[in-house]
Amino acid sequence: MTDVSPGYPRVLIAAFQGWSDAGDATTEVLEHLRDLVDAQVLHVIGSEGYVDYQVHRPKVVLDEAGDRSLEWPDTRLLGTLHRPGSEDEADDAEGDTVRRIDGGRVTELFLLSGVEPARDWQSFADEIVELVDVWAIDTVIILGSMYSDAPHSRPVVTTITSESAERRELTGATRSTYEGPAGIATVVDLALTAAGIPPVSLWAQVPHYVHSTPSPKVTLALLDKLEELLDVVIPRGELLSQATDWEANINRIAAADEDMSRYIRGLEETRDEALAAETTGDAIAAEFEKFLEDGSRRDTDAWSGADAAVDAAAGADAEPNASSDEAAGPEAGAGASAGAASAAGVTGPSAEAEDAAGAAGAADAAGAAGATGATDTDTDASAGFGAANEADSPEDPESH
């Protein structure tokens, strides 16, 4: 086993079936990771008292001997007590070589998977907080996915939020401003925050018109963001081809339904316009910053030139005018400086300020236009909780 460097986090990734798992995107992420790291069950939060069995029924399963048993919809903490990446390759149960997660930013990886409880949410959240404390987990990432007016043919929109200013600085996340109905993911998020372990929430949008099937493209997008957050390499396996097939199948179905095609084209146009407006606003803001930098540089260079002109003039006239200059005092010197500055072509700070104000007005107008059109964009993670990430997000309920 590779030595573990101190300071690397013990990471928990959590997802819950139900309202916070549109398109099965988040629970599929955990299944994918579980297979990669051979995670074993470390603890079970029993479903009794939490789960409505008429909604989430227990399943009858057969073992190798043909004996039957019940599999209850419990919440399970899974983990691997070796460092992900310590073994690049290993053999699965059938002896085939499989890829592992590669990277050195994670000391130990834990997965928490279960169904959204029907009752006693606060007690359920308290049990999760206790697990995080017992296992000395210091970084929690809560996954979520929700249905929205997202076109399937465009890149998946993701958003990252956190109540912690430190986490926001490290990951480029934003602070949620959402108010409204909440799911268990938000309840757990706030319970952990209150306990001094503020998590990062990672959410993705799922096209609402394909709600009856899993969404591998969304699962893939969540894995992409996790890879950035944790600074690891996560093998995608068959997800790449599954995502391609998923999009192609929707295209084929839409091609046979003119109403559906028209509806999707409308979503695509709305998304493209929002992205264009956002891009334009960003470009203008960047140009404005450059203008201010250049203006500041021009001010510095011009005033330096003026000072040089004043010094040269003073040097040339030093001997014959020394007594009169001394008699004139500071006001005379100031007048000479102003005259030399005028001769050097310097308009002074006030003119630059007027130019900047005009540019600021233009940038504000463009920014307002961008904000109006960007209703479908999310705020997007960083490598090893260290670099800023792109994030574009609407006010989607559980993402906050």
For 361-384, what is the mean pLDDT?
38
State the pLDDT confidence band at 8, using cuts at 50, 70 and 90.
low
- End-to-end Cα separation, the chain, in angstroms: 39
Q: Is the pLDDT of residue 257 over 90?
A: yes
pLDDT category of residue 209 using cuts at 50, 70 and 90:
very high
Q: Does residue 274 sit within a domain?
A: no
Q: Tell me what the mean pLDDT of segment 136-161 comes to.
A: 94
Q: Is residue 319 part of a domain?
A: yes
In a domain, 231, yes or no: yes
Given this model, what pLDDT does residue 277 score? 78
Same domain, 244 and 292: no
Q: How far apart (Å, rounded) are the C-alpha atoms in residues 330 and 335?
A: 9
**Whether residue 215 sits in one domain with residue 89:** yes
Q: Which residue has the higher pLDDT, 325 or 133?
A: 133
Of the pLDDT bands very low, low, confident and very high (cuts 50, 70, 90), residue 382 is very low
94 in the same domain as 134: yes
Residue 310, in any domain of the structure: yes
How many domains is the chain partitioned into structurally?
Answer: 2
Q: Quick one: 46 and 137 in the same domain?
A: yes
98 or 184, which is more confident? 184
* 240 and 293 inside one domain: no
Whether 91 and 158 share a structural domain: yes
| Residue % of the chain over a pLDDT of 90 | 52
Picking from 52-61, 182-191, 259-268, 375-384, which range would have the lowest pLDDT averaged per residue? Answer: 375-384
pLDDT of residue 35: 87
Q: Please provide the average confidence, as pLDDT, over all residues in the chain.
A: 74
Q: Do 43 and 110 sit in the same domain of this protein?
A: yes
Please check whether residues 50 and 177 belong to one and the same domain.
yes
**pLDDT above 70 (res 98):** no
Q: Residue 49 burial (CB < 10 Å; 0-12/13-18/19+)?
A: exposed
> Is residue 363 located within the same domain as residue 389?
no
Distance, in Å, from the CA atom of 158 to the CA atom of 148, rounded to the nearest integer, reads: 12
Residue 173 exposed, middle or buried by CB count within 10 Å (0-12, 13-18, 19+) = buried
Helices marked H in the chain: 25-37, 121-134, 165-171, 184-194, 216-230, 239-255, 258-316, 318-328, 330-343, 349-373
Residue 1 located in a structural domain = no
The answer to the question of residue 307 being in a domain is yes
CB within 8 A of 238, min separation 6: which ones?
none
**What's the pLDDT tens digit per position in 216-254?**
999 999 999 999 998 888 999 999 999 999 999 999 999
Region 167-187: mean pLDDT is: 92
Q: CA 199 to CA 377: how far, in whole Å?
A: 22
Lowest mean pLDDT across 31-45, 225-239, 277-291, 385-399: 385-399
Closest CA to 301 of 355, 256, 341: 341
pLDDT bracket for residue 266 (50, 70, 90)? very high
Determine which of 40-44, 61-65, 98-102, 124-128 has the lowest per-residue pLDDT on average: 98-102
pLDDT in tens, 32-46: 999 888 888 999 999
Is residue 89 scored above 70 in pLDDT?
A: no
Judgement on whether residues 386 and 353 belong to the same structural domain of the protein: no
In a shared domain, residues 58 and 101 = yes
Residue 84 resides in a domain: yes
pLDDT of residue 391: 38
Tell which residue, 32, 116, 83, has the closest CA to residue 13.
Answer: 32
Coil, strand or helix at 44? strand
Residue, of 115 and 342, whose pLDDT is higher: 115
CATH number at residue 20: 3.40.50.10900
**Is it the case that residue 7 has pLDDT exceeding 80?**
no
Residue 265's DSSP bridge partners are none
Find the domain containing 290 and state its range: 280-373
Residues 278-306, mean pLDDT to the nearest whole number: 53
Within a domain: residue 275? no
Task: Indicate if 38 and 146 belong to the same structural domain.
Answer: yes
Closest CA to 270 of 390, 152, 396, 374: 374
> How would residue 287 be classed by pLDDT, with cut points 50, 70 and 90?
low
